[in-house]
Structure 1
């Protein structure tokens, strides 16, 4: 993703050190910007919390030294990722963040931060601490629980209209808009290409999806961020979101129901949404690393990482978690994976946003000031294709985020027909629905050009998009930019036909 002017300012800003930098965080944002509003995560003794510990360098040696410090600080290692120098930890030690730095005898720990404001509902995988489990239950009971799926970029104007089974391609205005109905006749995608659907799970029994899911590459990451390879762990439990997303990407061309953008490719269900509807950093880290380890080709990310809509680099806990996710995305990219992500449904200008009233969303949200070091992740991370949502008339969807230099391409996201649980079809709206169109187009590009790198695929998906001029209305937000790049459409509306016929 291109970096907006405000983001570029971040790269050259003078580092500002806060009082909490003993935990390993150094702020970075433009010198003329305010500090973001502190949101301290209180971790009382006896209450189980989840943390990430980032080492100075990746590798087994530093990770081992870090785990020894973690143990001395009364932490339990849930999952170690030496590939990126990140360790996921549970601890009921209220001063774990300070204690692990004190116990770090070799100075290998770069940063440490809590990943949520409440105790993990899943307990500590592999640990038999009854006290820790009880602490988890007592704290979570006081938290504000979310409805399943709330964290996955679903706007309030979801149509909820049930479509009768076998609705047919005639209902798919979205596929006609991006010329996927035409690209299907040229190249439906290669079965060698795998799209990782980082979401709430895919219903592999659905008639449009049964032949499309690669079971061997599917995984559940919601067990504290530890990969769960059980046969049913990656199936949906409380949310239909991932199944709907999957249908848009690659529903089979089988004479039943609908057809996806790239019906010839395969998908892996990478479950990162827990039963309460949250996608915590450790889940996403697991998902991205798994995609890289399996050498998937594309991931779709129709969510923002909880509990913060924007993760701020001048807040120690947020900075540590953001850095761990960034490393995971970078790891998978270096192993050949290109990423598409939803821009978000807050009707916000990502290039100029200065406030957030929705975070943290797993306890009590506060009104806070944010700066250019505060980003929606993973969508605003480098190497991620950020997708805005448009309607059937190609207008920006009312809920869609926007931003000059932040949006890469646009795709249909309002009233999209796709696969639903129990072998049915349904319509949903959201940038969550727009992003899988682009993931499908990326899969087509990879099918046509199997040797292309993620960087070349990322550039190509912007190049092949159809330019679209600004469409500002008197009732809506202002569109900024010109025909070839603007705040609504980025480089244009994604085009599947161009993807399969692009030669360079």
Structure 2
């Protein structure tokens, strides 16, 4: 499955205190007795390492300690605990572990469930089989763009940053005009939750904050070893990072906010998967390292849509929600890609590509099924347009689901310097490419409004966006609904970098 993912920009940010409530099963119950979603089989085989999430009833160290004891009593190994959000990540080789942990008498445990449908191929931290830098053994997942191969860019042209004349996207969101006012503040830090960043790229090295970078892609445990966060098997994170903050340094191209700092938060393993424990680690890290913005051009595997009425999916769904809410409560605002499946997120029907780590099945969806972290509260959802300003055919959409739109087709940005086909710079397409434009604008907004909360930043972003009306006709059976001010293709409209640096509260 090659969809990028997107988050709904909800103005109602989750309070940190809400992390302890309510129980997922009750909160996610389908309204109006709608049909349940299709269950997905989960089978643990004795001797194979499986990964689980355990949510405590409250987010505090005492509850975590009790849950950890229950994990060990049930035959599991504690991989990582997050007392900030009341979440424990555990591994077990025992087929009855999930049954035992759910049957425990521990008063601290609210819910427990698997994070994957396939065994953990990277192994368990602390064992000889552990692969610190990420998995190697799943079927390789495609780069999460719309499927286009990287296209090399034309030769450099123009003064200053020589590729800038080819960056139609920066002109469309008025970033070129915004740069005449400010390039963004060095006090602002953007976490690039992705596949790692090339630390040697001349356009990225000046703004890369190595001290705040991390690798979360090996079992969900933070890995701070030297350069564990760099790109290894994927160009995706490097391309995203350039759109956000490629330096204005007379080399190559320029990002939306070339004066801010970026940190690599590696949440994608070497096979291309973003499992819940990786994303949770990334969001909590971003919160505790005082980041201002995160970009999330992915959906959480192995489900394109996680269903809250399924007991094997709801616990991981809740754990990811808690991590996003915790980061939001600590002042982090999140941008995310809407996905590349040309899917109407407001009218979900079926999904035939999940789970993508084992055997996909045809599933019936319902209103409890969410694209994570796209549809979580406090996340800005971003659809993609082409160079005419029309929604890209691959972009997901949905009335009430899309916050804003941004350029996402044939976007010029940075590539790993050693890429065999398109070294240094390339053109890529996808909502993965649209979301970092919005992350960059949010970084400019934070630069000019340093005391603004995530909710205030989102409100300004949406208010400043340029209204974009539904097209008169559109190919492929996708229908745009809503008003010029807010519709299913463009949400509140095209983001505006110039307004972000020109207005004051």
**Alignment TM-score, normalising by the size of structure 1:** 0.91
1:8 is matched with: none
Q: Pick from 338, 346, 365: which aligns with 2:341?
A: 346
Match of 1:282, SS state, is helix
Residue-by-residue CA offset, 1:293-315 (whole Å, 9 max, x unaligned): 00100000000000000000011
Q: 1:26 Cα deviation (Å)?
A: 6.9
CA distance in 1, matches of 2:448, 2:256: 14
Distance verdict in 2 for CA 1:360–1:165, change over 3 Å: farther
Q: How does 1:467-482 map to 2 (within 5 A)?
A: 467-476=467-476, 477-482=478-483
Q: Is the 8 A contact 1:158 1:430 kept in 2?
A: no
CA distance in 2, matches of 1:375, 1:183: 35
2:35 is matched with: 34
Q: How does 1:127-276 map to 2 (within 5 A)?
A: 127=127, 145-147=139-141, 149-150=142-143, 152=144, 154-158=145-149, 160-164=151-155, 168-276=163-271
Distance verdict in 2 for CA 1:224–1:178, change over 3 Å: same
Match of 2:151, SS state, is coil
CA distance in 2, matches of 1:30, 1:435: 31
Match of 2:312, SS state, is helix
Q: Is the 8 A contact 1:464 1:502 kept in 2?
A: no
Moved more, 362-371 or 440-449: 362-371
1:427 is matched with: 427
1:84 is matched with: 85
CA distance in 1, matches of 2:367, 2:102: 28
1:12 is matched with: none
2:308 is matched with: 313
Residue-by-residue CA offset, 1:209-267 (whole Å, 9 max, x unaligned): 01110011000001210000011100000000000000000000001100000000000
Q: Is the 8 A contact 1:196 1:268 kept in 2?
A: yes
1:335 maps to 2:330: yes
CA distance in 2, matches of 1:165, 1:296: 33
Q: Is the 8 A contact 1:24 1:112 kept in 2?
A: no
Distance verdict in 2 for CA 1:49–1:25, change over 3 Å: farther
CA distance in 1, matches of 2:175, 2:503: 14
1:363 maps to 2:358: yes
Q: How does 1:275-286 map to 2 (within 5 A)?
A: 275-286=270-281
CA distance in 1, matches of 2:126, 2:154: 43
Q: Is the 8 A contact 1:163 1:427 kept in 2?
A: no
Q: 1:161 Cα deviation (Å)?
A: 3.6
Q: Is the 8 A contact 2:345 2:397 kept in 1?
A: yes
Q: 1:3 Cα deviation (Å)?
A: 6.8
Distance verdict in 2 for CA 1:163–1:221, change over 3 Å: farther
CA distance in 1, matches of 2:198, 2:26: 41
Q: Is the 8 A contact 1:158 1:415 kept in 2?
A: no
CA distance in 2, matches of 1:160, 1:117: 35
Q: 1:159 Cα deviation (Å)?
A: 5.6
Distance verdict in 2 for CA 1:163–1:218, change over 3 Å: farther
Distance verdict in 2 for CA 1:26–1:494, change over 3 Å: closer
Structure 2 gaps, min length 5: 1-7, 12-21, 418-422
CA distance in 2, matches of 1:26, 1:489: 30
Q: 1:106 Cα deviation (Å)?
A: 3.2
Q: 1:2 Cα deviation (Å)?
A: 5.5
1:55 is matched with: 56
Q: 1:496 Cα deviation (Å)?
A: 0.2
CA distance in 1, matches of 2:474, 2:288: 49
CA distance in 2, matches of 1:2, 1:264: 25
Match of 1:248, SS state, is helix
Q: Is the 8 A contact 2:10 2:378 kept in 1?
A: no
Distance verdict in 2 for CA 1:278–1:2, change over 3 Å: closer
Q: Which has the higher contact order (CA 8 A, sep 6+)?
A: 2
Q: Is the 8 A contact 2:150 2:426 kept in 1?
A: no
Q: Is the 8 A contact 2:217 2:266 kept in 1?
A: yes
Q: 1:324 Cα deviation (Å)?
A: 0.2
Q: Is the 8 A contact 1:3 1:405 kept in 2?
A: no
CA distance in 2, matches of 1:66, 1:262: 43
Q: Is the 8 A contact 1:56 1:108 kept in 2?
A: yes
1:7 is matched with: none
Q: 1:47 Cα deviation (Å)?
A: 1.2
Match of 2:187, SS state, is coil
CA distance in 1, matches of 2:152, 2:163: 16
